[in-house]
């Protein structure tokens, strides 16, 4: 574990400003709003702020307050934050983010977990937080296809937790891609897992479940998932089938990259039609800058390109016996019913918070901290 500081080369930031100034804007549909994609008026507003007011160096200072490291795991270079808990006996908690976010998803959550007393919690609920940039994301090394991203990544992170950091047993939480990685940890390394907590049932299970065995609420969930895929899932199909084609434009154009990312933050959050009800401009741009400055948008597509979705009746779905908790936020993409989750997990905690969406750790950090404390408390 080598100490690491985020310090983007000034030449990269200067080039970014030049590209922003030279943006070629497309024609706009009159009063399009968000109906046909990213709202042109909001994107122009965001880019103006990006050019004139956003301070990446200030964001670097904020992020560098955490304990960053780089480590080599069997030849792979991983970036990780390892923030120690204060007081009591901290429980080691591995956090796994998703797409199109980054480790930035959890930055507001870290102090709530490591120092609960200062944030309205109890000393006995303290955690050691281990937060990697998932392989292929952010300041971790870029990757090529692995054959099975979730399983490969789970093994990398298990090595980090047990061999590098020396935790015999640990807890894990994730959402989006991170829920698939967290679930894989429960499958592959159950003896080391205190418990797993997720904010969604991994999406692939929708398409690997025989609909003939489902209850009416589960069939409705399956129908909603299929409808969502037809209306909103084109991005995933493109990232899974033609990632190279997509990567050229998003790697070359910062405005194109921003548009691709913030449209998902708008559509998947509990923002009630105003993106900044859930995120500040600094939140949005800091996440985008992590992709831009590291050039990892193409590598971030690997989880989509790498995984072959199992089909119903082709496999016997594994049940995970590790104690499992799920907090299903109301404005997530397609919230699963409890009965569906009970098919796959040793479900010991189920919660449906009243507010929040897909990026709960960034939208509702205090609420998610309470959820994590409540689930893991009896497992300590």
Specify the CATH number for the domain of residue 194: 3.40.50.1820
Strand partners, 77: 72
Assess whether 82 carries a catalytic annotation: no
pLDDT at 170: 98
Selected catalytic residue, list 170, 304, 345, 349:
304
Q: Using CA atoms, how far apart are residues 240 and 39, in angstroms rounded to an integer?
A: 25
Lowest mean pLDDT among 6-10, 128-132, 215-219, 243-247: 215-219
Pairing mode, strands 68-73 and 2-3: antiparallel
Selected catalytic residue, list 101, 176, 332, 370:
176
Q: List, for residues 49-103, the tens digit of each pLDDT value.
A: 999 999 999 999 999 999 999 999 989 999 999 999 998 899 999 999 999 999 9
Rounded mean pLDDT, 290-318 = 78
Question: For 168, which DSSP code?
Answer: S
Strand partners, 71: 78
Beta-sheet strand order (sheet of 345-351): 2-3, 68-73, 76-83, 127-132, 91-96, 170-174, 193-198, 320-327, 345-351
* Domain with 89 in it: 2-379
Assess whether 27 carries a catalytic annotation: no
Q: Residue 178 is inside which H or E element, if any?
A: helix 177-188
What tokens appear for 317 in the block?
A: 């779905």
Rounded mean pLDDT, 273-298 = 98
pLDDT exceeds 90 at position 347:
yes
pLDDT exceeds 80 at position 315:
no
Q: List, for residues 141-164, the tens digit of each pLDDT value.
A: 999 877 899 999 999 999 999 999
pLDDT at 335: 93
Selected catalytic residue, list 82, 173, 358, 370:
358
What tokens appear for 77 in the block?
A: 């270079």
pLDDT at 311: 46
Helices 281-294 and 40-52: crossing angle, nearest 10°? Answer: 80
pTM beyond 0.85: the answer is: yes
pLDDT exceeds 90 at position 305:
no
pLDDT at 205: 83
Overall domain count for the chain = 1
Q: CA quadruple 347, 339, 237, 234: dihedral positive or negative? A: negative
pLDDT at 307: 62
pLDDT at 87: 83
């Amino acid at each position: 574990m080598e100490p690491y500081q985020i310090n983007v080369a000034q030449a990269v930031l200067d080039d970014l400003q030049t590209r922003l100034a030279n943006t070629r804007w497309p024609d706009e549909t009159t009063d399009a709003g968000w109906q046909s994609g990213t709202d042109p008026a909001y994107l122009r507003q965001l880019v103006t702020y990006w050019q004139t007011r956003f301070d990446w160096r200030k964001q670097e200072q904020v992020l560098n307050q955490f304990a960053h490291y780089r480590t080599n795991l069997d030849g792979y270079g991983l970036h990780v934050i390892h923030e120690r808990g204060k007081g009591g006996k901290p429980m080691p908690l591995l956090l796994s983010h998703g797409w199109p976010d980054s480790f930035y998803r959890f930055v507001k959550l870290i102090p709530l977990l490591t120092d609960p007393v200062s944030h309205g919690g109890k000393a006995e609920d303290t955690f050691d937080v281990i937060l990697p940039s998932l392989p292929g994301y952010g300041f971790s090394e870029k990757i090529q296809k692995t054959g099975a991203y979730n399983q490969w990544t789970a093994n990398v992170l298990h090595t980090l937790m047990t061999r590098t950091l020396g935790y015999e047993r640990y807890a894990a939480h994730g959402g989006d891609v991170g829920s698939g990685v967290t679930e894989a940890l429960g499958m592959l390394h159950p003896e080391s897992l205190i418990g797993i907590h997720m904010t969604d049932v991994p999406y692939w299970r929708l398409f690997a479940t025989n609909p003939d065995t489902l209850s009416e609420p589960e069939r409705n969930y399956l129908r909603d998932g299929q409808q969502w895929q037809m209306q909103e899932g084109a991005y995933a199909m493109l990232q899974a089938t033609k990632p190279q084609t997509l990567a050229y434009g998003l790697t070359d154009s910062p405005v194109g990259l921003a548009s691709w990312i913030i449209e998902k933050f708008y559509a998947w959050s509990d923002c009630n039609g105003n993106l900044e009800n859930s995120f500040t401009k600094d939140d949005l741009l800091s996440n985008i800058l992590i992709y831009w400055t590291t050039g990892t948008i193409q590598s971030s597509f690997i989880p989509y390109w790498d995984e072959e979705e199992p089909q119903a009746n082709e496999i016997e779905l594994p049940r995970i016996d590790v104690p499992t908790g799920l907090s299903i936020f109301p404005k997530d993409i397609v919230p699963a019913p409890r009965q569906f989750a009970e098919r796959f997990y040793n479900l010991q905690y189920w919660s449906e918070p009243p507010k929040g969406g897909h990026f709960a750790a960034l939208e509702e950090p205090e609420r998610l901290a309470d959820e994590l404390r409540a689930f893991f408390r009896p497992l300590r």
